[in-house]
Amino acid sequence: MDMAADREQRVPRVVIVGAGFAGLWAARELGRGPAEVVLVDRQNHHTFLPLLYQVATAELEPEEIAYPIRSIVRRLPRARFVMAEVQAVDLEARRVTGDGLTLPYDYLVLAAGSAPHFFDIPGAAEHAFPLKSLEDAVRLRNHVLWCFERAAREPQEARHRRLTFVIIGGGPTGVEFAGALAELLRGPVAADYPMVRAGDVRVVLLEATDRLLPGLPDRLGAYALARLRGMGIDVRLGAPVSEVTAEAVRVRGGEPLAAETVVWTAGVRGAPAAGRWGLPVGRGGRVPVLPTLQVPGHPDVYVAGDLAYLEEGGRPLPMIAPVAIQQARCAARNIRRQLAGKAAVPFRYQDPGMLATIGRGAAVAHVWGKQMTGFPAWVLWLGVHLVNLIGFRNRLLVLVNWAWDYLFYERAVRLILPSPGRG
Amino acid sequence: MDMAADREQRVPRVVIVGAGFAGLWAARELGRGPAEVVLVDRQNHHTFLPLLYQVATAELEPEEIAYPIRSIVRRLPRARFVMAEVQAVDLEARRVTGDGLTLPYDYLVLAAGSAPHFFDIPGAAEHAFPLKSLEDAVRLRNHVLWCFERAAREPQEARHRRLTFVIIGGGPTGVEFAGALAELLRGPVAADYPMVRAGDVRVVLLEATDRLLPGLPDRLGAYALARLRGMGIDVRLGAPVSEVTAEAVRVRGGEPLAAETVVWTAGVRGAPAAGRWGLPVGRGGRVPVLPTLQVPGHPDVYVAGDLAYLEEGGRPLPMIAPVAIQQARCAARNIRRQLAGKAAVPFRYQDPGMLATIGRGAAVAHVWGKQMTGFPAWVLWLGVHLVNLIGFRNRLLVLVNWAWDYLFYERAVRLILPSPGRG
């Protein structure tokens, strides 16, 4: 790749680590010059994480929320993509290494994202299903369907534990997954398994605090609670989990709740790689940055997205896509400013609002200072996610799948593929 | 599942092992009574194998050629599905066991299908990629794309072996895969990897005999040869492979051909499970059957599809979907006849013709005694495969993907997912 040669010609190079929302948007902003951009990711695709729960509930196929990074990068004349796992970052020598490659940089954007955060709850990391990657989603989908295949062959008394699905965490992911799972189980799965009685199936949502959707106004949390309970979901508030085993979940001070499937949506932390790379790691495993998104003492190193720790109004910025995209733009602008000999400017978050879907025709939205619930919020949610889903073809296929589900109460994706974790 | 109870009431039961074309069609024919039907498969989905090569070449998503078995079975009032791997068949006690289940039967239909046949060529089973299951297809797709990711980072001289793709076998699967692979590599992949020169990429098709598509008339084999060579594929006839290593393929009497990727499409054999179950296994690992498709000495046991060995006009019937479907219908009819106290009738194959696609707008067809090539044959191929693809939604999504590819010379599925076998 002639990297050494380029370097000698003193073409400034920006290395971007991670092709999630932050990394990809930074590459888009910088990929037309004047610097050269190298985008590094261990995967060859970007994953549209906000729809991951739909893969886990057999609504969408994994390919529909993934997009080849090279398809995006090839439209950027000054950018290229390298598929590699970054093993080390040398802030002094200004280079990134991994998978046998060495990439010197003039500016570095670290956008390695986040990982599940189990808060040291015993057994959670071992026994709960995370929902942070396409592999996680496919594994969870396979497992849910496998539970029904097992239950179909078992006597009635064994089914209760086998068909209890516990979701830990009442934030947007937990609420969206719980709603979609309940619809899957009460719709197409119920039709596929007539021998399983509705009473044998249970979806439980455990939330440690006293309300759902803590980032949204109280009224929207209450609406979500009423809707989920109306769908037959056993929502328990003020129920902090103290232990997860292979057999059950225990809520602090309570009896164990026997369940074959426990899904973890209760927390995320900065990607553990940051610590291995020797970066200073603070609260929630995130890297504290200056308001300009630079790492203190390293004006050539930016952190953007979930990995960056920055407070605004005394509270840490949330680990969500809009923050990641806006930070990527800010970091890109600051690098361009530095290249032009100007000073970096601080990041300001423009909150576009929050959306969460609960089920067919039901969602909550807090946008433009307004609160919306029900069908209008759901239509808004559909539109926002379709528009933001990368790639026109993906949008088309997702729309076909959604329309199909909506019209026929059917999900065709309920396959156990390629079938890991059967045992 | 109250199987013992049913049994005592003497409701005759047909157990069908395998939910490929033969097993599924047998279940459809018998699933409305008078017998009770239990369909057993180790997967929860039927796979439309004729389009597997399109999954391997990133044209279709795995979900688009798979269909949940329960969706089909639930429309059959007297049929049910059990997801289990059959470990033993007891022809005397008349029962099938596996995964902790025991299924007594009155009639048994064995439709376990086929597996790759490597003809004891040294190294073939270890180093060549088979193409017989969805997992195979996804693994091969991942590997092909991974080769390009590797090549993108390597010096020019390393690329030749890395980007040599050898396909062994010039039958329909080899021809279809070679054509689709060449189109993938010369189209979207070339656009994604501008640093790779066209001359670095090589697709080689090795066929042991002196012609392609041995099951079709000479003219069609010659047309396929000319089209594939016109696409830049290095087709070598009279090239029997004598060894496959991790580094290369050796043709008998020739120099080793250095290649990172070797794909095996040169032969299939009856599913090895038949031998483990203690059935008599003959030529090609298949179970010899009477003309009525019954196992000699066991009038209650039928074999249908690839696993059945039966000759017609002095030649064994081919291992293809039309034979499987017709045999399933014949076996079902014979079981109904036996239930009514009548004798089983012999199987007669009605040859509907053969089709193979080569590339964009190019195919060969031998139907209704006519030979067709080029665009008309391709349109016929499209129609036949779309009509036969199970499930209306799958057809719709496949059509969207095909139209997309055709219009934009683009394949959006080129993802490395979930990324097994990277090393």
Residue B412 has pLDDT above 60, yes or no: no
Q: Give yes or no for residue B98 having a pLDDT over 70.
A: yes
pLDDT at B375 (0 to 100):
86
pLDDT value at B423 more than 50 = no
The angle formed by the CA atoms of residues B26, B28 and B32, to the nearest 5 degrees, is: 115
Contact B412 A391 (CB under 8 A): yes
Q: Is A206 helix (H, G, I), strand (E, B) or coil?
A: strand
Statement: residue B89 has pLDDT above 50:
yes
Contact B415 A68 (CB under 8 A): yes
pTM, rounded to two decimals: 0.87
Q: Which residues lie across from A79 on neighbouring strands? A: A37
Nearest residue of B to residue A192 by CA position?
B70
* CA-based nearest residue in chain B for residue A136: B418
Average confidence (pLDDT) over A228-239:
96
B213-261 tens-digit pLDDT: 988 899 999 999 999 999 999 999 999 999 999 999 999 988 999 999 9
**pLDDT tens digits, B101-159:** 999 999 999 999 999 999 999 999 999 999 999 999 999 999 999 999 999 988 888 89
Percent with pLDDT over 90 in chain A: 70
Across the interface, which of A134, A153, A417 has its CB nearest the CB of B66?
A: A417
Q: How many CA atoms lie within 13 A of A354 on its CB side?
A: 16
Of the candidates B63, B101, B412, the beta carbon closest to that of A394 is on: B412
The backbone torsions φ and ψ at residue B292, rounded to the nearest 5 degrees and listed phi first, read -80, 0
Percent share of chain A, pLDDT over 70: 92
Query: What residues in B contact A412, CB-CB < 8 Å?
Result: 63, 67-68, 71, 391, 393-394
The shortest C-alpha distance from B416 to chain A (Å) reads 6
Measure CB to CB from residue A134 to each of B62, B68, B418 and give the nearest one: B418
Residues in a beta bridge with A45: A68
The per-residue pLDDT for A360 is 82
Q: List, for residues B56-86, the tens digit of each pLDDT value.
A: 998 888 888 888 899 889 889 999 999 999 9
Chain A contact set for B82 (CB, 8 A): 152-153
Residue of chain B whose Cα is closest to the Cα of A394: B412
Contact state of B417 with A134 under an 8 Å Cβ cutoff: yes
Q: How confident is the model at residue A62 (pLDDT cuts 50, 70, 90)?
A: confident
pLDDT at residue A417, rounded to an integer: 62
**Chain A partners within 8 Å of B1 (Cβ):** 152-153, 195
Q: What Å distances lie between residue B317 and B208, B212, B291, CA to CA?
A: 21, 19, 12
- The answer on pLDDT for A267 being more than 70 is yes
For residues A49 and B26, give the distance between their C-alpha atoms in angstroms, rounded to a whole number: 42
- Asked whether the predicted pLDDT for residue A260 surpasses 70, the reply is yes
Chain A nearest C-alpha distance from B235 (Å): 30
Provide the pLDDT for residue A8: 52
* Residues of chain A positioned with their CB less than 8 A from the CB of B401: 397
Neighbours of B368 (CB within 10 A): 8
Interface test with A, best of B1, B42, B57, B70 (most A CBs within 10 A): B70
Higher pLDDT, B176 or A390: B176
What's residue A416's pLDDT?
A: 66
Question: Taking all residues of chain A, what is their mean pLDDT, rounded to a whole number?
Answer: 90
pLDDT higher than 60, residue A345 = yes
What's the rounded mean pLDDT across residues B309-314?
A: 95
Mean of the pLDDT values across residues B377-387?
84
3-class DSSP state of B203: strand
Per-residue model confidence as pLDDT tens digits over A307-331: 999 999 999 999 999 999 999 999 9
Domains, chain B:
3-116+269-339 (3.50.50.60), 124-266 (3.50.50.60)
Q: How many CA atoms lie within 13 A of A61 on its CB side?
A: 30
DSSP one-letter code for B187: I
The answer to whether residue B409 scores a pLDDT higher than 90 is no
Closest CB from B74, B412, B415 relative to A191: B74
Contact A153 B84 (CB under 8 A): yes
Chain B residues closer than 8 Å to A62 by CB? 61, 415, 417-418
Q: Give the per-residue pLDDT at B154.
A: 87
Going B401 to B406 to B408 to B412, the CA torsion angle's sign is positive
Residue A405: its pLDDT value, please? 66
pLDDT of residue B252: 93
pLDDT at B188 over 50: yes
pLDDT of A251 reads 96
Mean pLDDT for chain B overall: 90
Please provide residue B28's backbone torsions phi and psi, each rounded to the nearest 5 degrees.
-65, -40
pLDDT recorded at residue A354: 86
Q: Do A192 and B138 touch (CB under 8 A)?
A: no
Local structure of A384: helix, strand or coil:
helix
Nearest Cα to Cα of residue A124 among A242, A251, A208, A272: A242
Q: Are A414 and B63 in contact (CB < 8 Å)?
A: no
B417 to A83: CB separation less than 8 angstroms, yes or no: no
Cβ(B211)–Cβ(B169) under 8 Å? no
Residue B390 or B212, more confident: B212
Identify which has the larger pLDDT, A311 or A367.
A311
Higher pLDDT, B89 or B407: B89
pLDDT higher for A379 or A140?
A140
At CA B57, angle to CA A143 and CA A405, rounded to 5? 45
Strands B88-90 and A164-168: unpaired
In this predicted structure, what is the pLDDT of residue B422?
27
From the list A134, A215, A133, the residue with the least C-alpha distance to A175 is A215
DSSP character string of B388-412: HSSSHHHHHHHHHHHHHHHHHS--T
Alpha carbon distance B228, B226 (integer Å): 6
Nearest to A16 by CA among A401, A338, A329, A242: A329
Distance CA A189, CA B112 (A): 26
Closest-CA distance, A394 to chain B, in angstroms, reads 8
Catalytic residues of B: 176
